[in-house]
């Protein structure tokens, strides 16, 4: 029975690791949403489309503007893109859960770019060159996907602003993962979609995964117990060992058991000669 106890112990450890690995998951946003061109003085910051997608360890966000040339502001002008993310964390609404700020300016022909993101906990990090692409009429920025771990995202607000030359212009579009609300100022035409369509039901995925794996393990425990009892019936010397083999190796363990384990009861019977005739 010591092999049986060890096998059950290994099973419990594997199940605990699986629970931790399954419940620690990050919400990902995959969406694309259009916005009608608004009455914005500068077409280079007039938002016509917003979006986001998850890839690898990063969450990407992007903005498409009406006019191209967004990568080159006019001389002595500043362009700013702000992405403000509101989320529910530990049951509390957090307005500025994550703020991404990208600023680029034309200093007499020399374009300088700076990108940072801040969190509601007070953290601030600078984004590198690989985290930001400004080209044509599109700005794409990425942040670590772990920022959205175990949270419910309520909305993502995109704001573009241009200042300089005595002019100020701006546009704003808000994406609501779980609502048909329209964006602000940009007057979006359609609502995007997200993988987490019902954020309040985030727990269904992990629970379903754990339940499926638990059922799978229970089935193999029953099969391993059958192998254990069958080995005892066949007078095998190590039925507990076969329990562990079948439990850990699954189908391969069953095949090995069927091939190797034979009925040894007849071999263990001791021949007793009949008594001599009287």
pLDDT tens by residue, 124-146:
999 998 999 998 899 999 999 98
Note whether 52 and 187 are same-domain residues. yes
Q: How far is 273 from 263, CA to CA, in rounded Å?
A: 24
Structure tokens at 100: 């991404």
Q: How far is 138 from 133, CA to CA, in rounded Å?
A: 8
Note whether 70 and 169 are same-domain residues. yes
Assess if residue 278 is contained within a domain: no
Assess if residue 274 is contained within a domain: no
95: confidence class by pLDDT, cuts 50, 70, 90: confident
Exposed, middle or buried, 248 (CB in 10 Å: 0-12/13-18/19+)? middle
**In the prediction, which pLDDT does 14 show?**
53
**In the prediction, which pLDDT does 208 show?**
73
Q: Does the structure show a pLDDT above 80 at 97?
A: yes
Note whether 175 and 261 are same-domain residues. no
Q: How far is 204 from 212, CA to CA, in rounded Å?
A: 12
Average pLDDT, the chain: 78
190: confidence class by pLDDT, cuts 50, 70, 90: very low
Assess if residue 225 is contained within a domain: yes
42: confidence class by pLDDT, cuts 50, 70, 90: confident
**In the prediction, which pLDDT does 199 show?**
43
Containing domain of residue 236, as a range?
Answer: 2-22+204-268
Note whether 225 and 145 are same-domain residues. no
- Choosing from 149, 168, 196, the residue where a domain stops is 196
Note whether 243 and 173 are same-domain residues. no
Half-sphere exposure of 250 (CA within 13 A, CB side): 6
Half-sphere exposure of 69 (CA within 13 A, CB side): 8
Mean pLDDT of 31-39: 81
Q: How far is 178 from 157, CA to CA, in rounded Å?
A: 14
Q: Which of 71, 95, 68 is nearest to 84 (CA)?
A: 95
Assess if residue 36 is contained within a domain: yes
Mean pLDDT of 16-20: 48
Neighbouring CB atoms inside 10 A of 247's CB total 24
Q: How far is 212 from 76, CA to CA, in rounded Å?
A: 60
Report how far Cα 210 is from the mean position of its chain's Cα atoms: 16
Note whether 165 and 244 are same-domain residues. no
Assess if residue 208 is contained within a domain: yes
3-state SS assignment for residue 224: helix
Assess if residue 32 is contained within a domain: yes
Note whether 182 and 57 are same-domain residues. yes
Q: How far is 2 from 21, CA to CA, in rounded Å?
A: 29
Tally of domains in the chain: 2
**In the prediction, which pLDDT does 76 show?**
78
Q: Which of 131, 147, 127, 171 is nearest to 28 (CA)?
A: 147
Note whether 77 and 182 are same-domain residues. yes
Note whether 89 and 146 are same-domain residues. yes
High-pLDDT (> 70) share of the chain, %: 73
**In the prediction, which pLDDT does 11 show?**
52
């Amino acid at each position: 029975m010591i092999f049986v106890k060890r096998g059950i112990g290994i099973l419990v450890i594997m199940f605990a690791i699986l629970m931790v690995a399954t419940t620690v998951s990050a919400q990902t946003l995959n969406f694309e949403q259009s916005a009608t061109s608004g009455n914005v003085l500068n077409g280079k910051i007039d938002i016509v489309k917003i979006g986001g997608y998850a890839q690898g360890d990063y969450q990407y966000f992007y903005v498409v503007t009406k006019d191209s040339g967004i990568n080159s502001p006019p001389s002595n002008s500043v362009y700013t893109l702000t992405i403000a993310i509101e989320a529910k964390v530990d049951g509390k609404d957090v307005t500025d859960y994550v703020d991404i700020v990208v600023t680029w300016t034309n200093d007499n022909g020399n374009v300088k770019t700076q990108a940072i993101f801040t969190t509601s906990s007070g953290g601030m990090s600078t984004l590198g060159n690989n985290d930001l692409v400004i080209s044509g009429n599109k700005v794409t920025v990425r942040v670590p996907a772990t920022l959205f771990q175990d949270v419910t995202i309520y909305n993502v607000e995109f704001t573009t602003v241009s200042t300089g030359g005595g002019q100020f212009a701006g546009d704003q579009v808000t994406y609501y993962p779980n609502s048909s609300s329209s964006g602000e100022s940009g007057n979006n035409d359609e609502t995007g979609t997200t993988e987490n369509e019902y954020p309040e039901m985030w727990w269904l995925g992990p629970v379903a995964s754990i339940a499926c794996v638990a059922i799978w393990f229970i089935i193999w425990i029953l099969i391993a117990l059958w192998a254990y009892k069958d080995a005892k019936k066949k007078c095998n010397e190590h039925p507990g060992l076969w329990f562990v083999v079948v439990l850990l190796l699954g189908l391969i363990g069953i095949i090995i058991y069927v091939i190797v384990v034979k009925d040894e009861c007849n071999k263990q019977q001791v021949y007793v000669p009949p008594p001599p005739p009287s």
